Amino acid sequence: MGRSRGGAATRLDVPRGMRGEARAINDRGDAVGFFVDRGTRPVRWAAGGTAATELGVLGVGSGGLSEAMPVAINSRGDAVGTVKDYRTGNRAVDRAVIWSAGGTAAVVLPGLPGLGLETRSSSASDINDAGMIAGAVALYSGDQYVQSRPVLWNADGTVTDLGHGLINRINNVGDLIGIGPSGMGVAVWPAGEPGWVGLNSLIDPQGGWTLKEVVDINDGGVIVGTGDFDPDGAGPIRSRRASFRLTPVPEPGGVGAAAVMALWGRLLARGRRGRGQPGGSSRGPCAGRKGRRASGAP
């Protein structure tokens, strides 16, 4: 595994010489990942160095087994991921955790309060520079699984229930991307808006695209992912899987929520001449979502 530095790759050390993988990096150059030793164990590499700092887990199972997967790190150096919790025995469950900058302990993120259900497991998918963590919780009534719900763990200690869907990424503005509810498919939840907006409902239906997966969103609201692209509609050329970049463009004269929704209404479609060449990156209002204060870990 290596870090590019002026065209050269620098090997990142892992404890005990085991095999490892880097999974995420921030703008400063701090990286997180894991190494393989009786399962997977989380590590952090500080910017400018190659030495690995082993991060904490939540107990170990039979034979010293552990499973941990860091997935994101913000500019401060706070990392998030999902860890198997073996503290109650070998029947482990997933826990969303944060490894704070400068520390090594895996701190379990709290469950979702207020629904009369118990959070039995959770996972984290991303963290932004404001400390907002995106993820999901699995809710149970007794031993009966009820449902999974997407959530935001806010920097003030509250947990925001986002209803239904799945979150892949959150940017520093607070925009979310993922899968919307009720068959909506790939979607965006603009910061300050009331819910998910299906991306396929906002692009030109004659453009030849069916968006299938969203991978990331930057602070300008530009989304990248993959989809099926059919260059000639009902013609003989078969559709193919291709990458897309979806660029926000404000509607002329648009204001308020309508303008926010319209930001995702244009597709910069690679491979289709004469289509999708929007410019601009204006953003809409970005008020925060309200959350409920959690009481303790799941």
pLDDT of the chain along its 298 residues, tens only? 555 555 678 889 888 767 889 999 999 999 999 999 888 999 999 999 999 999 999 999 888 889 999 999 999 999 999 999 999 877 899 999 999 998 999 999 999 998 889 999 999 999 999 999 999 999 999 999 999 999 999 999 899 999 999 999 999 999 999 999 989 999 999 998 999 999 999 888 888 999 999 999 999 999 999 999 998 877 888 889 999 999 886 655 543 333 333 444 433 333 333 222 222 232 322 334 555 444 333 3
Residues 177 and 157 in one domain: no
CA distance 232 to 164: 35
Within-domain flag for 99: yes
Residues 120 and 223 in one domain: no
Last residue of a domain, one of 163, 180, 206: 163
Within-domain flag for 17: no
Range of the domain at 46: 29-163
Residues 123 and 186 in one domain: no
Tell me the three state secondary structure of residue 63: helix
Q: Which two tokens stand for residue 196?
A: 């998910």
pLDDT given at position 1 = 53
Find the angle CA(185)-CA(188)-CA(194) to the nearest 5 degrees: 110
Coarse DSSP helix, strand, coil percentages of the chain, rounded to the nearest 5 percent? 5, 45, 50
Last residue of a domain, one of 113, 137, 163: 163
Tell me the three state secondary structure of residue 16: helix
What is this structure's pTM?
0.81
CA distance 156 to 159: 9
Centroid of chain to Cα 231: 31
- Contacts for 137 with CB less than 8 Å, ≥ 6 apart: 96, 111, 112, 119, 121, 122, 148, 149, 151, 298
Residues 229 and 152 in one domain: no
pLDDT given at position 91 = 81
88 DSSP 8-state letter: T
CA distance 291 to 90: 33
Residues 186 and 120 in one domain: no
Q: Which two tokens stand for residue 195?
A: 């819910």
Q: Rounded to the nearest 10 degrees, how much is the dihedral formed by the CA atoms of 190, 195, 199, 204? A: -90
Q: Which two tokens stand for residue 27?
A: 């703008």
Residues 154 and 208 in one domain: no
Within-domain flag for 298: no
Last residue of a domain, one of 106, 140, 163: 163
Residues 61 and 185 in one domain: no
Residues 183 and 263 in one domain: yes
CA distance 211 to 173: 23
pLDDT given at position 205 = 84
Residues 34 and 157 in one domain: yes
Within-domain flag for 290: no
Domain tally, the chain: 2
Residues 34 and 147 in one domain: yes
Residues 89 and 155 in one domain: yes
Residue reference for tokens 């289509």: 275
- Measure CA of the first residue to CA of the last residue in the chain; give whole Å: 35
Residues 224 and 272 in one domain: yes
